[in-house]
Structure 1
Amino acid sequence: MQILKEVVDLDTVTGKMRCYIYRPNREGAFPAIIFYSEIFQQTSPISRSAAMMASHGLVVIVPEIFHELNPMGTVLAYDDEGKDKGNDDKLCKPLIDHDSDTVALIDFIQSATYCSGKAGAMGVCIGGHLAYRAALNPNIKAAFCLYATDIHSNTLTAEASQQSLARMSDIKGEIHFVWGKQDPHVPKEGRLAIYQKCLETGINYHWIEVNAVHAFMRDEGDRFDGALAIQMYQQAVALFQRVLS
């Protein structure tokens, strides 16, 4: 279906957060997903991914994940300067600030007339981690996490008890993990640590490992695997349509 695009600035505990909304161009109230970006924020590939998901009957909200640290509208380039800035932002922002952002996003989803009130989360790279992190909130009923970084390593800013891996048992919805076997950012040992925690906690999870490098969903640059990307979009849409409809 055709979609509309708009911008909404939400109040959060740590300041205004710009969000990019992609939603069906028709009457009705639709399930919503929070789409968390890479460290580069809303780049063209992220925008195209959001549009792809929205065209399947979902309201897709892309927040500026580092809104406290950059002027509104900041998009970092896929180069060394952008990577260094994004990685610095990632380490500077505490996980609890991402949690409060999620609360603001859920409040919006539950009040917007074009949203049904049912919410999920999806993300790539650090955004995969943030989709996982969002699933700690019981209002997030499903999460689709693509090559989620830093869960296994406990390297983001938080007390030990608040690290994402330690809190896995708080996830009450359904969560899908997708990993690239050739991804150096989440090596085999890291994936194994997360998998063992899934078994230990007994959460409702789905596990996918594919032969791919990091950022294989990004349709810009030489890492892109279009065939795998199509499969992942189909699986994500199937998850959200089943759980959130």
Structure 2
Amino acid sequence: MARTTTVQVPVGDGSAEAYLARPDGDGPFPAVLLFMDAFGLRPRLAEMAERIADRGHVVLVPNLFHRAGPAIMVDAALLDTPEERARSYEKVMRLVAGLTTQVVAADTAAFLDFLAGRDDVAPGPVAATGYCMGGTTALRAIEALPDRIAAVASFHAGRLVTDAADSPHLGVGSVTGELYFAHADQDKSMTVEQIATLEAALDAAGVRYRSELYVGAPHGFTMADTAAYDERAAERHWAALFALLDRTFRQHAASLEAGVDG
């Protein structure tokens, strides 16, 4: 069984609190970055990290809002209704806005350096998964560091397509790894038109990707501690994520073996 500890990750002139989940054994294990949703570090994210770690991965879940201070545990009772979720989300929108392209690139490099410095982490690129705003962050991360992140899975992410000059969809040309997108049906933060724009950008850039619409699933469908949870969609997400991780690390292992044989 995987176990989770809380660690401090050096970031710039400060540090970020993070969950670290790892399997039993000495490793080394391939690493996965899990980018949180706007509600931050809490038991649900630790549970998700442990489920990934149980498949043989070291999983780091950093507090993306570390510049605002230590991670604040969210009271799950405040997420029980759509109204409470909306009010809670409004409180963190200022923090979300602070996750600029430059900030994400710098922080992600620090997270990856932390993982690379651990004896139980296998050398080579990592994979990343992200939820809601974390899905958007994950895409920005692989765009900024394509040589260090081999694959990204983005679940019910919003604002992947905007009118801004640094809209995430405009940076996909740098991506060399594989991408997976799971879009929530009728998600106001990622409309059908925006999904089409994202897919057109991915096609034009020649990126390997899969983009799927989870019909009937609301925004936030993976989060079992909120009113948005959809068990069927969440289980579909696990299957898609694990398939991507298996492909990614199997291909990396094959590349290493080919290099040795050569």
Do both share a fold (TM > 0.5)? yes
**Cα displacement (A) at 1:64:** 0.2
Give the number of the structure whose residues are more often strand, by fraction: 1
The CA RMSD over aligned residues, in Å, is 1.6
In structure 2, relative to structure 1, the CA distance for the partners of 1:215 and 1:30 (3 Å cut) is same
CA distance in 2, matches of 1:107, 1:235: 27
Deviation track 1:11-59 (CA, whole Å, cap 9, x = no partner) reads: 2126211111011021211111110011111122222211211111111
Summarize the alignment of residues 32-47 of structure 1 with structure 2, pairs less than 5 Å apart: 32-47=31-46
CA distance in 1, matches of 2:245, 2:136: 18
Moved over 4 A (4+): none
CA distance in 2, matches of 1:191, 1:110: 34
CA distance in 1, matches of 2:126, 2:8: 19
In structure 2, relative to structure 1, the CA distance for the partners of 1:16 and 1:154 (3 Å cut) is farther
Counterpart code for 1:230: E
**Counterpart contact for 2:180–2:211, Cα < 8 Å:** yes
Deviates more, 1:54-63 or 1:71-80: 71-80
CA distance in 2, matches of 1:151, 1:233: 21
In structure 1, the partner of 2:260 is none
Q: Which protein has the larger Cα radius of gyration, Structure 1 or Structure 2?
A: 2
Q: How many residues align?
A: 238
**Cα displacement (A) at 1:154:** 4.8
In structure 2, the partner of 1:235 is 240
In structure 2, the partner of 1:3 is 2
Deviation track 1:44-103 (CA, whole Å, cap 9, x = no partner) reads: 22222112111111111100011102x213234533553122111111332211111110
Please say if 1:87 is aligned against 2:93. yes
CA distance in 1, matches of 2:234, 2:88: 24
In structure 2, the partner of 1:226 is 231
In structure 1, the partner of 2:255 is none
Give the number of the structure whose residues are more often helix, by fraction: 2
**Counterpart contact for 1:154–1:165, Cα < 8 Å:** no
Please say if 1:217 is aligned against 2:238. no
Summarize the alignment of residues 1-245 of structure 1 with structure 2, pairs less than 5 Å apart: 2-13=1-12, 15-69=14-68, 71-77=69-75, 78=79, 79=84, 80-117=86-123, 118-136=125-143, 137=145, 138-154=147-163, 160=165, 162-211=166-215, 212-245=217-250
What is the DSSP-based 3-state SS (H/G/I as helix, E as strand, rest coil) of the residue aligned with 1:74? coil
**Counterpart contact for 2:3–2:50, Cα < 8 Å:** no
**Cα displacement (A) at 1:182:** 2.0
Counterpart code for 1:27: D
Unpaired runs of 5+ residues, structure 1, are: none
CA distance in 1, matches of 2:19, 2:61: 5
Query: Scaled by the length of structure 2, what TM-score is found?
Result: 0.85
**Counterpart contact for 1:14–1:68, Cα < 8 Å:** no
CA distance in 2, matches of 1:54, 1:42: 17
Query: Scaled by the length of structure 1, what TM-score is found?
Result: 0.91
What is the DSSP-based 3-state SS (H/G/I as helix, E as strand, rest coil) of the residue aligned with 2:66? coil
